[in-house]
Amino acid sequence: MKKINTIKKYREFKEIIELRKFYRNELFCIYFRKNECKKTRIGILVSKKNGNAVTRNKIKRQVRSIIDSFIDYQDDLDLIIVITKKYSTDEFDRNKELLTKLISLTLGDKK
C-alpha cells in the first residue's frame, strides 16, 4: 500500500465512521464510503487493547499485506478497517480469510 492510498487525518476518519455504513465480523469492522479521488484510500485502526506498539505495528503490517494481495486501488472507495482485540497475529490464514470476505462484501456494495 502506497502513501497516497492511506487516510491519516482524524477528520476524514470521523466523517467515514459517522456515515455508519459498515460490515463486521468477529475480528474486523470495515466502514466505507465512495470518494471523488478515483482511487481507493485505506485507514487502519488498532486499539491499545491489542498490545504494545510492536504488536500493533505487526498487526498493521499483516493487514496491509492482506489488502495489497486483494484490493484494486483504482476503485473510488474510502475504507476504515477497525481491528478488534480478538485479533491474533499467529492465525494469519484465518485472519486473511475473514478480512477477504468482508472486503469482497464491501466492494460488492459500493454505493
Q: What tens digit of pLDDT does each residue of 26-44 get?
A: 999 999 999 888 889 999 9
List the grid coordinates of 53: 506498539
Q: Give the per-residue pLDDT at 71.
A: 83
CATH number of residue 95's parent domain: 3.30.230.10
In tens, the pLDDT along 55-75 reads 999 999 999 999 988 887 888
Number of domains in the chain: 1
pLDDT above 70 (res 110): no
- C-alpha angle 23/97/107, rounded to 5°? 45
Q: What is the pTM of this model?
A: 0.89
* Structural domain containing residue 54: 3-108
Query: Mean pLDDT over all residues of the chain?
Result: 90
Q: In what order do the strands lie in the sheet with 22-24?
A: 22-24, 28-34, 77-83, 41-46
